[in-house]
Amino acid sequence: MNRLIPIIFIWLLADIYVFQAVKTATSNRYIWWAFWLYDGLVAATVIYYMLTGKPIINSLKGIYWGLMLLSLLPKLIAIPFLLLEDIGRTVHLAFNWITNMLPSSTSQQEHVYMVSRKKFISQLAIGIATVPFLGLLYGMVKGKYDYQVHRVKLKFKDLPDAFNGFTITQLSDIHSGSFDSKADVERGVALANKQKSDVLLFTGDLVNTTATEMDEWMVTFSALSATSGKFSVLGNHDYGDYKTWESKTAKEDNLQQLKDVHKELGFRLLLNENLKIEKSGQYITLIGVENWGKGGFQKYGDLNKAVEGVNGEDFKILMSHDPSHWEAQTLHHPQHIHLTLAGHTHGMQFGIEIPGFKWSPVKYMYKQWAGIYNEGSKYLYVNRGFGFLAYPGRVGIWPEVTVITLEKG
């Protein structure tokens, strides 16, 4: 309760402060009531869960965090504008008070000027804050299922001739526990199948926490198809590490259940191991490591174990969920790994992507966070994710189906 008081106090101060700008910007009382009704409901929900300690129902978590973000982010954007304006007004009034030399008529004109300026700044701040509000709202309603196909062609001198033109569909970060529209998810699966790739590779995070999240999605994702097979690895969320379990056995059982889910979906799950994909008497080696991430992320992956028995001359593709693994271990590994496929970042589900320019706040946490990267003849592709987590939406960084074509050359 003691930790709750300052949070409530700060939230209330922010609401009161921004509301003064809303009142100045518009005299429409319906907007005033909408402001307090929305914030009141969100705040009441937060206080309820914090006081009771009850867990949020899994299907409501995304909505819960989304509504909080819609309430807080516009205020964080508006407050700096309002503070600067108030600081300017305070300095100006203090200067007038100190000098005390202006005639009363001039002072009155100055007073009118200052009020008008405050209304303009309030309208400007509220207008600017409305942009991310509408963007986030769009991301929750439409953007989270706005699947995009990203196509990449990569040339390798040592690619076996039989694999010239070989196609890979990559999916990552499904996070099935976040979905709320079966029709939209089925449309995304159909889009992946429409690519008619030779193999389908899934680079981890099938669920948010528990294997049971997949129960209602088994039929949907079993429909994924590829002529030469479907292969997968685990992501950081798949291990159940973000949940308090009643026992170690319960956690282990959940992980085993999830591994069984991969099998039932038709995926060959690679757990620090490798296999050969054959075509016309030739082959490429597919390697899959368990999750390995820098910093505080789990390091279940064992690349040395995963490449055991692999011929150094083989053409190699590695599936590794976390892109930080590439520079940390993969890039300079004794085995030449031609192509690494990762996911994990989601592109933070928020950013800007236009021809020639790509930005997201996640770039300050991950050097490689979306799309293709290379050093010499070694490549990394980071998928932006099929699903979403926490914030139930996407703005600017849309859900992705990746199609990679391998070419000899």
Q: What is the pLDDT of residues 46-57, one digit of tens each?
A: 777 666 666 665
Question: Using 50, 70 and 90 to split pLDDT, how confident is the model at 74?
Answer: confident
Best CA proximity match to 59, nearest among 202, 172, 254, 216: 216
Q: Are 65 and 390 in contact (CB under 8 A)?
A: yes
pLDDT of residue 118: 67
| pLDDT tens sequence across 312-325 | 999 999 999 999 99
Q: How far apart are CA 201 and CA 269, in angstroms?
A: 10
- Residue 39 structure tokens: 């914030």
Identify the weakest region by mean pLDDT among 1-10, 348-357, 382-391. 1-10
pLDDT of residue 69: 79
Q: How far apart are CA 207 and CA 202, in angstroms?
A: 12
**Which residue did the predictor score with more confidence, 73 or 256?**
256
Residues above pLDDT 70, as percent of the chain = 90
pLDDT of residue 112: 43
pLDDT of residue 2: 53
| pLDDT tens sequence across 273-297 | 999 999 999 999 999 999 999 988 8
Residue 334 pLDDT greater than 70, yes or no: yes
| pLDDT tens sequence across 209-218 | 999 999 999 9
Class of 147-408 in CATH: alpha beta
pLDDT of residue 23: 85
pLDDT of residue 37: 87
pLDDT of residue 176: 96
Torsion of CA 107, 109, 114, 117, to 10 degrees: -170
pLDDT of residue 62: 67
Residue 116 pLDDT greater than 50, yes or no: no
Domain boundary assignment for the chain? 4-141, 147-408
Q: Residue 151's beta-bridge partner residues?
A: 403
Q: How far apart are CA 133 and CA 391, in angstroms?
A: 13
**DSSP string of 4-65?**
HHHHHHHHHHHHHHHHHHHHHH---HHHHHHHHHHHHHHHHHHHHHHHH-PPPPHHHHHHHH
Residue 34 pLDDT greater than 90, yes or no: no
Name the average pLDDT for the chain. Answer: 89
Question: Using 50, 70 and 90 to split pLDDT, how confident is the model at 367?
Answer: very high
pLDDT of residue 188: 98
User: Averaged over 18-39, what is the pLDDT?
Assistant: 86
User: Averaged over 117-130, what is the pLDDT?
Assistant: 79
pLDDT of residue 86: 79
Residue 380 pLDDT greater than 80, yes or no: yes
User: Averaged over 330-348, what is the pLDDT?
Assistant: 97
User: Averaged over 172-189, what is the pLDDT?
Assistant: 96
Q: Within a 13 Å sphere around the CA of 232, how many CA atoms are in the beta-carbon half? A: 27
DSSP secondary structure code for residue 323 in this structure:
T
- Residue 98 structure tokens: 């100190």
